[in-house]
């Protein structure tokens, strides 16, 4: 496995900015192993897979993380404010990807900056969110513990939760799998 390749790193290919989302070696018989790299184009949001050999030499793009506060959304664009400089930045739907489902107005998020501009949002693995709507709490008729119901979170995201969850509860949601992890105490 190449040591100079990391998940999350930014690289430039033919002038386009990409983020490495995953990579792994593939062994086929007696042939030399090949490293497949999964990339996400940060301008278009499209994902692609490439062989590492076609990317060499790798041009890593310097980047930094900054805290941005989510202000509002308008017409598929999301406006954030830098917590230190009070500068405002706008990110499009495709730049945020699945992060859009977890945005809450007024909350702060880490953003990945390259070339002086935010290129993507870095969500925590787990977020605590409020349940805005769900069926009344109940008990499973058969005693099964894996029966779930739909719940709508305060930001409009829908998740499956256990039957005992009620409106107003705060729950933990895994942002990678979009699944319920537990009730926040």
For 148-183, what is each residue's pLDDT tens digit?
Answer: 899 999 888 999 999 999 999 999 999 989 999 999
> Is residue 97 one of the residues assigned to a domain?
yes
Q: Say if residue 133 is in the same domain as residue 178.
A: yes
Q: Residue 120 forms beta bridges with which residues?
A: 112
Task: Say which CATH number the domain at 40 has.
Answer: 2.30.30.30
Q: Say if residue 117 is in the same domain as residue 137.
A: no
Q: Classify burial at 4, counting beta carbons within 10 Å of its beta carbon; exposed 0-12, middle 13-18, buried 19 or more.
A: exposed
> Is residue 37 one of the residues assigned to a domain?
yes
- Contact assessment for residue 111 and residue 70, using Cβ atoms and an 8 Å cutoff: no
Q: What is the pLDDT of residue 140?
A: 61
Task: Say which CATH number the domain at 139 has.
Answer: 2.40.50.140
> Is residue 3 one of the residues assigned to a domain?
no
Q: What is the pLDDT of residue 43?
A: 80
Q: What angle do CA 89, 94, 100 make, to 5 degrees?
A: 75
> Is residue 1 one of the residues assigned to a domain?
no
Look at residue 2 and tell me whether its pLDDT is greater than 60.
Answer: no
Q: Say if residue 150 is in the same domain as residue 174.
A: yes
- Per-residue pLDDT of 42-52, as tens digits, reads 888 788 999 88
Taking the C-alpha atoms of residue 87 and residue 47, their distance in angstroms, rounded to an integer, is 30
> Is residue 106 one of the residues assigned to a domain?
yes
SS3 23: strand
Q: What range defines the domain where residue 79 resides? A: 64-122
SS3 93: helix
> Is residue 2 one of the residues assigned to a domain?
no
Number of domains in the chain: 3
Q: Say if residue 68 is in the same domain as residue 94.
A: yes
Does the pTM surpass 0.75? The reply is no
Q: Say if residue 94 is in the same domain as residue 130.
A: no
Rounded to whole angstroms, what are the CA distances from 137 to 143, 170, 183? 14, 14, 14
- Per-residue pLDDT of 52-110, as tens digits, reads 888 888 888 998 999 999 999 998 899 999 989 999 999 988 788 888 889 989 999 99
């Amino acid at each position: 496995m190449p040591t100079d390749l990391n998940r999350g790193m930014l690289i430039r290919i033919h002038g386009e900015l990409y983020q490495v989302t995953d990579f792994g070696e593939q062994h086929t018989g007696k042939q030399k192993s090949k490293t497949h790299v999964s990339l996400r184009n940060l301008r278009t949001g499209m994902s692609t897979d490439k062989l590492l050999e076609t990317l060499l030499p790798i041009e890593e793009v310097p980047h930094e993380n900054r805290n941005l506060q989510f202000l509002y959304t308008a017409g598929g664009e999301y406006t954030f404010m830098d917590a230190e400089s009070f500068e405002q930045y706008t990110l499009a739907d495709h730049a945020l990807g699945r992060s859009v489902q977890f945005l809450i107005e007024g909350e702060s998020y880490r953003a990945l900056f390259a070339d002086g501009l935010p290129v993507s949002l870095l969500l925590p693995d787990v977020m605590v969110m409020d349940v805005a709507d769900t069926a009344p709490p109940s008990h499973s008729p058969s005693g099964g513990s894996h029966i779930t119901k739909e719940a709508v979170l305060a930001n409009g995201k829908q998740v499956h939760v256990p039957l005992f969850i009620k409106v107003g509860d705060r729950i933990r949601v895994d942002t990678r799998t979009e699944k319920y992890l537990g009730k926040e105490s």
